[in-house]
Amino acid sequence: MTKLNNTQDLITYVARLGDDAIVFGHRISEWVSHAPFLEEDIALGNVALDFIGHAQMYYSYAAKLSNEENTNATPMTEDDFAYLRNEREFQNHLINELPNGNFADSVVRQVLIDLYNKLYVDALKKSKDKTLAAIAEKSSKEILYHCRRSQEWMLRLGDGTDESHQKMQTALDNIWGYTHEIFELDDTEQCLVDAGIAVDSTVLKTQWLQNVTAIVEQATLSIPTDKWAVRGGREGYHTENLGHLLTEMQFVHRSFPGAKW
Protein backbone atom coordinates (compact mmCIF):
# COMPACT_ATOMS: atom_id res chain seq x y z
CA MET A 1 0.00 0.00 0.00
CA THR A 2 1.24 3.47 -0.87
CA LYS A 3 1.98 6.06 1.73
CA LEU A 4 -0.87 8.26 0.51
CA ASN A 5 -3.49 5.61 1.12
CA ASN A 6 -2.17 4.98 4.57
CA THR A 7 -2.48 8.60 5.55
CA GLN A 8 -5.95 8.87 4.05
CA ASP A 9 -7.00 5.77 5.97
CA LEU A 10 -5.56 7.20 9.14
CA ILE A 11 -7.44 10.48 8.66
CA THR A 12 -10.66 8.53 8.09
CA TYR A 13 -10.09 6.46 11.20
CA VAL A 14 -9.22 9.39 13.45
CA ALA A 15 -12.22 11.36 12.19
CA ARG A 16 -14.47 8.36 12.90
CA LEU A 17 -13.33 8.28 16.51
CA GLY A 18 -14.05 12.00 16.62
CA ASP A 19 -17.50 11.42 15.09
CA ASP A 20 -18.40 8.84 17.73
CA ALA A 21 -17.35 11.21 20.48
CA ILE A 22 -18.97 14.40 19.18
CA VAL A 23 -22.30 12.82 18.27
CA PHE A 24 -22.61 11.10 21.62
CA GLY A 25 -21.30 14.14 23.49
CA HIS A 26 -23.90 16.30 21.79
CA ARG A 27 -26.64 13.83 22.65
CA ILE A 28 -25.66 13.81 26.32
CA SER A 29 -25.57 17.62 26.33
CA GLU A 30 -29.24 17.62 25.32
CA TRP A 31 -30.01 16.42 28.85
CA VAL A 32 -28.65 19.63 30.35
CA SER A 33 -31.50 21.40 32.15
CA HIS A 34 -33.75 18.34 31.71
CA ALA A 35 -32.06 15.87 34.06
CA PRO A 36 -33.98 14.34 36.99
CA PHE A 37 -32.27 16.57 39.57
CA LEU A 38 -29.62 19.26 39.77
CA GLU A 39 -26.56 17.17 40.64
CA GLU A 40 -27.37 14.75 37.85
CA ASP A 41 -27.80 17.65 35.47
CA ILE A 42 -24.29 18.83 36.35
CA ALA A 43 -22.90 15.32 36.02
CA LEU A 44 -24.40 14.95 32.55
CA GLY A 45 -22.97 18.31 31.54
CA ASN A 46 -19.55 17.17 32.73
CA VAL A 47 -19.70 13.87 30.89
CA ALA A 48 -20.89 15.58 27.70
CA LEU A 49 -17.97 17.98 27.95
CA ASP A 50 -15.51 15.10 28.29
CA PHE A 51 -16.83 13.50 25.12
CA ILE A 52 -16.73 16.78 23.22
CA GLY A 53 -13.17 17.24 24.48
CA HIS A 54 -12.22 13.83 23.15
CA ALA A 55 -13.78 14.74 19.81
CA GLN A 56 -11.75 17.93 19.74
CA MET A 57 -8.51 16.00 20.25
CA TYR A 58 -9.35 13.51 17.50
CA TYR A 59 -10.54 16.18 15.08
CA SER A 60 -7.50 18.41 15.71
CA TYR A 61 -5.28 15.47 14.87
CA ALA A 62 -7.32 14.64 11.75
CA ALA A 63 -7.04 18.28 10.68
CA LYS A 64 -3.29 18.29 11.26
CA LEU A 65 -2.87 15.14 9.17
CA SER A 66 -5.05 16.60 6.40
CA ASN A 67 -3.04 19.81 6.36
CA GLU A 68 0.23 17.93 6.08
CA GLU A 69 -1.24 15.91 3.25
CA ASN A 70 -2.74 18.81 1.28
CA THR A 71 -0.27 21.61 1.76
CA ASN A 72 -1.91 23.73 -0.97
CA ALA A 73 -5.42 23.66 0.44
CA THR A 74 -6.79 26.11 3.01
CA PRO A 75 -5.71 24.74 6.39
CA MET A 76 -8.43 22.84 8.22
CA THR A 77 -9.26 22.96 11.91
CA GLU A 78 -11.26 20.71 14.21
CA ASP A 79 -14.28 22.94 13.54
CA ASP A 80 -14.31 21.96 9.87
CA PHE A 81 -14.78 18.37 10.90
CA ALA A 82 -17.44 19.07 13.49
CA TYR A 83 -19.48 21.76 11.80
CA LEU A 84 -18.95 21.69 8.07
CA ARG A 85 -19.52 18.08 7.11
CA ASN A 86 -22.82 16.60 6.11
CA GLU A 87 -24.66 13.60 7.42
CA ARG A 88 -23.19 11.14 4.92
CA GLU A 89 -19.68 12.30 5.77
CA PHE A 90 -20.11 11.41 9.43
CA GLN A 91 -19.06 7.84 10.10
CA ASN A 92 -20.05 7.36 13.73
CA HIS A 93 -21.47 4.11 15.05
CA LEU A 94 -25.25 4.37 15.01
CA ILE A 95 -25.67 3.72 18.74
CA ASN A 96 -24.28 7.20 19.39
CA GLU A 97 -26.90 9.05 17.38
CA LEU A 98 -30.03 7.39 18.81
CA PRO A 99 -32.26 9.92 20.56
CA ASN A 100 -31.94 10.13 24.32
CA GLY A 101 -35.39 8.64 24.95
CA ASN A 102 -36.32 8.43 28.61
CA PHE A 103 -33.70 8.42 31.36
CA ALA A 104 -33.52 4.61 31.35
CA ASP A 105 -32.73 4.62 27.63
CA SER A 106 -29.93 7.09 28.22
CA VAL A 107 -28.50 5.18 31.18
CA VAL A 108 -28.48 1.88 29.30
CA ARG A 109 -26.75 3.38 26.28
CA GLN A 110 -24.24 5.14 28.53
CA VAL A 111 -23.29 1.88 30.27
CA LEU A 112 -22.89 0.03 26.97
CA ILE A 113 -20.72 2.78 25.49
CA ASP A 114 -18.71 3.52 28.63
CA LEU A 115 -17.73 -0.11 29.08
CA TYR A 116 -16.84 -0.30 25.38
CA ASN A 117 -14.78 2.91 25.56
CA LYS A 118 -12.88 1.63 28.56
CA LEU A 119 -11.65 -1.43 26.67
CA TYR A 120 -11.20 0.46 23.42
CA VAL A 121 -9.12 3.26 24.86
CA ASP A 122 -6.97 0.90 26.91
CA ALA A 123 -6.14 -0.88 23.65
CA LEU A 124 -5.59 2.41 21.81
CA LYS A 125 -2.95 3.36 24.36
CA LYS A 126 -0.78 0.69 22.74
CA SER A 127 -1.20 2.15 19.25
CA LYS A 128 1.98 2.63 17.26
CA ASP A 129 0.64 6.07 16.42
CA LYS A 130 2.03 8.28 19.17
CA THR A 131 -0.70 10.92 18.98
CA LEU A 132 -3.51 8.38 19.17
CA ALA A 133 -1.79 6.72 22.12
CA ALA A 134 -1.52 10.11 23.85
CA ILE A 135 -5.19 10.92 23.27
CA ALA A 136 -6.09 7.49 24.64
CA GLU A 137 -3.95 8.00 27.71
CA LYS A 138 -5.59 11.35 28.34
CA SER A 139 -9.18 10.22 27.88
CA SER A 140 -8.87 6.92 29.76
CA LYS A 141 -8.74 8.73 33.09
CA GLU A 142 -12.09 10.40 32.46
CA ILE A 143 -13.68 7.24 31.15
CA LEU A 144 -13.11 5.56 34.52
CA TYR A 145 -15.33 8.19 36.12
CA HIS A 146 -17.96 7.69 33.42
CA CYS A 147 -18.02 3.93 33.93
CA ARG A 148 -18.56 4.25 37.66
CA ARG A 149 -21.39 6.74 37.32
CA SER A 150 -23.35 4.95 34.62
CA GLN A 151 -23.04 1.56 36.29
CA GLU A 152 -24.31 3.01 39.55
CA TRP A 153 -27.36 4.28 37.72
CA MET A 154 -27.94 0.92 36.09
CA LEU A 155 -27.94 -0.75 39.51
CA ARG A 156 -30.17 1.85 41.03
CA LEU A 157 -32.78 1.75 38.28
CA GLY A 158 -32.55 -1.90 37.27
CA ASP A 159 -32.79 -3.06 40.85
CA GLY A 160 -35.20 -0.26 41.77
CA THR A 161 -38.97 -0.17 41.46
CA ASP A 162 -41.02 -2.41 39.17
CA GLU A 163 -41.46 0.48 36.81
CA SER A 164 -37.80 1.51 36.66
CA HIS A 165 -36.83 -2.15 36.22
CA GLN A 166 -39.26 -2.53 33.34
CA LYS A 167 -38.06 0.64 31.66
CA MET A 168 -34.44 -0.44 31.95
CA GLN A 169 -35.15 -3.87 30.47
CA THR A 170 -37.12 -2.34 27.60
CA ALA A 171 -34.27 0.10 26.93
CA LEU A 172 -31.75 -2.75 26.90
CA ASP A 173 -33.91 -4.74 24.46
CA ASN A 174 -34.31 -1.72 22.18
CA ILE A 175 -30.66 -0.70 22.08
CA TRP A 176 -29.04 -4.14 22.01
CA GLY A 177 -29.23 -4.50 18.22
CA TYR A 178 -27.03 -1.41 17.84
CA THR A 179 -24.14 -2.91 19.80
CA HIS A 180 -23.06 -5.41 17.15
CA GLU A 181 -21.55 -3.00 14.65
CA ILE A 182 -19.20 -1.48 17.22
CA PHE A 183 -17.25 -4.75 17.18
CA GLU A 184 -16.92 -4.96 13.40
CA LEU A 185 -14.10 -3.70 11.18
CA ASP A 186 -14.21 -2.58 7.57
CA ASP A 187 -11.23 -2.77 5.20
CA THR A 188 -9.95 0.66 6.18
CA GLU A 189 -9.79 -0.20 9.85
CA GLN A 190 -8.48 -3.70 9.17
CA CYS A 191 -5.49 -2.21 7.31
CA LEU A 192 -4.74 0.05 10.25
CA VAL A 193 -5.18 -2.81 12.69
CA ASP A 194 -2.61 -4.79 10.68
CA ALA A 195 -0.27 -1.80 10.88
CA GLY A 196 -0.61 -1.72 14.68
CA ILE A 197 -2.34 1.67 14.63
CA ALA A 198 -6.07 1.02 15.01
CA VAL A 199 -7.77 -1.04 17.69
CA ASP A 200 -9.03 -4.47 16.73
CA SER A 201 -12.49 -4.10 18.24
CA THR A 202 -13.48 -7.66 17.24
CA VAL A 203 -11.31 -9.07 20.02
CA LEU A 204 -12.87 -6.80 22.64
CA LYS A 205 -16.34 -8.27 22.38
CA THR A 206 -15.90 -11.22 24.72
CA GLN A 207 -14.52 -9.10 27.53
CA TRP A 208 -17.13 -6.40 26.93
CA LEU A 209 -19.97 -8.91 27.03
CA GLN A 210 -18.59 -10.31 30.26
CA ASN A 211 -18.39 -6.86 31.86
CA VAL A 212 -21.83 -5.84 30.61
CA THR A 213 -23.37 -9.13 31.73
CA ALA A 214 -21.92 -8.69 35.21
CA ILE A 215 -23.52 -5.28 35.79
CA VAL A 216 -26.74 -6.18 33.96
CA GLU A 217 -27.27 -9.25 36.10
CA GLN A 218 -26.32 -7.45 39.28
CA ALA A 219 -29.02 -4.94 38.35
CA THR A 220 -31.47 -7.90 38.07
CA LEU A 221 -31.84 -7.32 34.34
CA SER A 222 -31.17 -9.81 31.57
CA ILE A 223 -29.07 -9.66 28.43
CA PRO A 224 -31.37 -9.72 25.37
CA THR A 225 -31.04 -12.45 22.78
CA ASP A 226 -29.36 -11.45 19.53
CA LYS A 227 -32.39 -11.20 17.27
CA TRP A 228 -31.46 -8.29 15.04
CA ALA A 229 -28.62 -5.93 14.27
CA VAL A 230 -28.38 -2.52 12.61
CA ARG A 231 -25.25 -1.51 10.72
CA GLY A 232 -23.97 1.18 8.41
CA GLY A 233 -22.52 3.97 10.55
CA ARG A 234 -18.93 3.48 9.41
CA GLU A 235 -20.12 3.71 5.78
CA GLY A 236 -22.01 6.93 6.41
CA TYR A 237 -25.47 5.34 6.33
CA HIS A 238 -27.39 6.69 9.26
CA THR A 239 -30.70 6.51 11.03
CA GLU A 240 -32.91 9.53 10.46
CA ASN A 241 -31.79 10.90 13.82
CA LEU A 242 -28.34 12.11 12.84
CA GLY A 243 -29.61 14.71 10.37
CA HIS A 244 -31.75 16.33 13.06
CA LEU A 245 -28.85 16.31 15.51
CA LEU A 246 -26.47 17.94 13.01
CA THR A 247 -29.02 20.57 12.07
CA GLU A 248 -29.06 21.76 15.63
CA MET A 249 -25.36 21.29 16.34
CA GLN A 250 -24.13 23.03 13.19
CA PHE A 251 -26.73 25.76 12.91
CA VAL A 252 -24.83 28.64 14.52
CA HIS A 253 -21.54 27.83 12.84
CA ARG A 254 -23.11 27.62 9.41
CA SER A 255 -25.27 30.72 9.85
CA PHE A 256 -22.36 32.89 10.98
CA PRO A 257 -19.27 31.46 9.30
CA GLY A 258 -16.05 32.45 11.02
CA ALA A 259 -17.86 34.38 13.76
CA LYS A 260 -15.78 35.20 16.83
CA TRP A 261 -16.68 36.64 20.21
Q: Which of residues 137-156 bind another protein (CB under 8 A)?
A: 137-139, 141-142, 144-145, 148-149
The candidate with the shortest Cα–Cα distance to 244, out of 92, 115, 87, 108, is 87
Identity of the residue, 137 or 217, whose beta carbon is nearer to another protein in the bound complex? 137
Of 167, 123, 115, give the one whose Cα is nearest residue 144: 115
Taking the C-alpha atoms of residue 77 and residue 92, their distance in angstroms, rounded to an integer, is 19
Cα distances (Å, whole numbers) of residue 240 to 113, 130, 228, 234, 245:
20, 36, 18, 15, 9
Find the binding residues for another protein in span 229-258 (CB under 8 A).
none
- Please identify which residue in 9, 23, 24, 56 interacts with another protein, judged by CB under 8 A: 56
Q: Is 54 in the site for another protein (CB under 8 A)?
A: yes
The least CB distance from residue 142 to another protein, in Å, is 6
Nearer to another protein, 109 or 149 (CB): 149
SS (H, E, C) 72-113: CCCCCCHHHHHHCCCHHHCCCCHHHCCCCCCHHHHHHHHHHH
Stretch that binds another protein, among 39-47, 80-88, 109-117, 245-253 (CB under 8 A): 39-47
8 A C-beta contact, residue 92 and residue 59: no
**Spatial CA neighbour of 184 closest among 234, 240, 258, 130:** 234
- Contact region with another protein (CB under 8 A), list: 6-14, 45-53, 101-109, 115-123: 45-53
Output 26 or 234, the one with its CB closest to another protein.
26
The smaller minimum CB distance to another protein, of residues 13 and 178, is found at: 13
CA separation for the pair 162, 202 (Å, rounded) = 36
Q: Note whether 187 binds another protein by CB under 8 A.
A: no
Cβ partners under 8 Å of residue 36, min gap 6: 103
Report 9-28 residues binding another protein (CB under 8 A). Answer: 25
- Min dist CB 239 to another protein, Å, is 26
Shortest Å distance, C-beta 203 to another protein: 25
Min dist. Cβ of residue 143 to another protein (A): 10
> Binding string to another protein for residues 105 to 134, with x set by CB under 8 A, is what?
-------------------------xx-xx
Answer for the pair 21, 52: CB distance below 8 angstroms, yes or no: yes
Classify burial at 70, counting beta carbons within 10 Å of its beta carbon; exposed 0-12, middle 13-18, buried 19 or more: exposed
The binding site for another protein (CB under 8 A) comprises 25, 39-40, 42-43, 45-47, 49-54, 56-57, 130-131, 133-135, 137-139, 141-142, 144-145, 148-149
